[in-house]
């Protein structure tokens, strides 16, 4: 399909396609990390659990069915090229796409009012969460990260004293220990260091978007520490509690040291789509 501008319908259709992909197919890097974990695991129970997870992933893809019954709340990262001219509210189009995908896939209606617990489907006040970034060029890139509650509920944030740099590692490990089997390990550990209270949390969430194998030496050290804890797959014991640790940094106030740890389950679902004038690139 070719047009001289990105339309409301282009965005709606792309969001539906994007959600189908994100909810039914795990990214290749995550599947590869789980396959590698299956080979390395020496605990027979954990090995069997990872095998079941891999079978689950295969069946979901074959049947176009959600990878997990908790299809998550939807977090969108939207990059908009500064040459893009949009004559509609892209937030409305994304919400429309979410509502259509909720019917088509289908997605579990996970959004509720925080006090009354009344359901609003998957769209509500502040949901889906949409984070915008301005970029160069004329493209829009939309990335979705469906986030289940099991892993989100055990995520933590600490406002450390600036003198507590050495405690960052301890806080990450304590968060993983306290989480135990609740976030469906093996997990991916996203960490945000610096910024402000909310910026640290956003950095930790963005860290989950990175390729699982993309880790520096410090991140690999912490990963080894986590995997020595013995929590194991689904908390049943074993060699592999986490697949990756990803840390993102931002400068912060001289009197602050915010640290956020956002835990992600093995179902590290994410997918992206790019739209540009004249064609659509997936």
Q: For ligand SF4, give the closer residue by CB, 66 or 194.
A: 66
Number of residues that bind ligand SF4 (CB under 6 A): 10
3-state secondary structure of 133: strand
Q: Give the span between the Cα atoms of 187 and 190, in whole angstroms.
A: 9
Residue span 219-258 as binding mask against ligand SF4, x where in contact by CB under 6 A, dash where not: ----------------------------------------
Q: Does the protein bind ligand SF4 through residue 195 (CB under 6 A)?
A: no
Contacts of 90 (CB under 8 A, 6+ apart): 11, 78, 80, 140
* Binding string, residues 91-130; x marks residues near ligand SF4 by CB under 6 A: ----------------------------------------
Contact residue for ligand SF4 among 31, 143, 151, 227 (CB under 6 A):
151
What six digits make up the tokens of 274?
Answer: 């790019």
Instruction: Assess 183 for contact with ligand SF4 (CB under 6 A).
Output: yes
265 touches ligand SF4 (CB under 6 A): yes
- CB within 8 A of 256, min separation 6: which ones? 159, 162, 196
Contacts of 130 (CB under 8 A, 6+ apart): 76, 78, 91, 94
Q: Of 66, 148, 185, 192, which lies in the binding site for ligand SF4, with binding defined by CB under 6 A?
A: 148
Query: Is there a contact between 76 and 143 (Cβ–Cβ < 8 Å)?
Result: yes
* 68 lines the binding site for ligand SF4 (CB under 6 A): yes
By the rule CB under 6 A, 66 interacts with ligand SF4: no
Q: Smaller CB distance to ligand SF4: residue 265 or 273?
A: 265
We find the least distance from the C-beta atom of residue 179 to ligand SF4, in angstroms, to be: 10
**Do 175 and 156 form a contact (C-beta atoms < 8 A)?**
yes
**Is the bond preceding 102 in cis, omega lying within 30 degrees of 0?**
no
Three-state DSSP class for 145?
strand
- Residue range at the interface with ligand SF4 (CB under 6 A); choices 36-44, 64-72, 164-172, 251-259: 64-72
Give me the least distance between CB of 214 and ligand SF4, in Å please.
Answer: 21
Instruction: Indicate which single residue of 184, 245, 261, 273 sits in contact with ligand SF4 (rule: CB under 6 A).
Output: 184
Is 16 one of the binding residues for ligand SF4 (CB under 6 A)?
no
Least distance (Å) between residue 134 CB and ligand SF4: 31
23 binds ligand SF4 (CB under 6 A): no
Residues paired with residue 189 on neighbouring β-strands, in sequence order:
245, 263
Q: Which is nearer to ligand SF4, 10 or 23 (CB)?
A: 23
Do 233 and 46 meet the contact criterion of CB atoms below 8 Å apart?
yes
In the bound complex, what is the minimum distance in angstroms from residue 142's beta carbon to ligand SF4? 21
Q: Identify the burial level of 235 via C-beta atoms within 10 angstroms of its C-beta, where 0-12 means exposed, 13-18 middle and 19 or more buried.
A: middle
CB–CB of 73/110 below 8 Å? yes
Sheet holding 257-264, edge to edge: 156-160, 257-264, 187-194, 242-250
Residue 175 binds to ligand SF4 (criterion: CB under 6 A): no
How many residues in total does the chain contain?
282
Where on the chain is the footprint of ligand SF4 (CB under 6 A)?
68, 70, 72, 148, 150-151, 183-184, 265, 267
């Amino acid at each position: 399909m070719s047009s001289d501008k990105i339309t409301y319908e282009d965005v709606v259709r792309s969001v539906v396609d994007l959600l189908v992909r994100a909810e039914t197919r795990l990214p290749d890097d995550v599947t590869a990390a789980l396959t590698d974990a299956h080979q390395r695991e020496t605990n027979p129970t954990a090995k069997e659990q990872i095998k079941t997870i891999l079978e689950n992933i295969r069946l979901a893809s074959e049947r176009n069915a959600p990878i997990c019954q908790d299809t998550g709340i939807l977090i969108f990262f939207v990059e908009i090229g500064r040459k893009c001219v949009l004559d509609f509210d892209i937030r409305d189009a994304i919400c429309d796409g979410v509502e259509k995908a909720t019917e088509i896939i289908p997605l579990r209606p996970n959004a509720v009012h925080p006090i009354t617990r009344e359901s609003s489907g998957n769209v509500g006040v502040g949901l889906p969460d949409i984070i915008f970034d301005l970029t160069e060029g004329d493209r829009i890139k939309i990335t979705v990260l469906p986030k289940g509650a099991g892993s989100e509920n055990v995520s933590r944030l600490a406002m450390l004293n600036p003198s507590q740099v050495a405690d960052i590692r301890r806080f990450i490990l304590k968060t993983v220990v306290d989480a135990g089997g609740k976030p469906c390990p093996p997990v991916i550990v996203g960490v945000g260091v610096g910024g402000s209270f909310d910026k640290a949390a956003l950095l930790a969430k963005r860290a989950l978007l990175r390729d699982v194998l993309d880790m520096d030496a410090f991140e690999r050290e912490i990963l080894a520490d986590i995997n020595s804890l013995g929590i194991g797959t689904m908390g049943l014991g074993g060699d592999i509690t986490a697949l990756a640790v990803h840390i993102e940094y931002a400068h912060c106030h001289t009197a602050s040291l915010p640290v956020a740890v956002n835990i992600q389950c093995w179902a590290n679902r994410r997918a992206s789509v790019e739209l540009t004038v004249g064609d659509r690139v997936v």
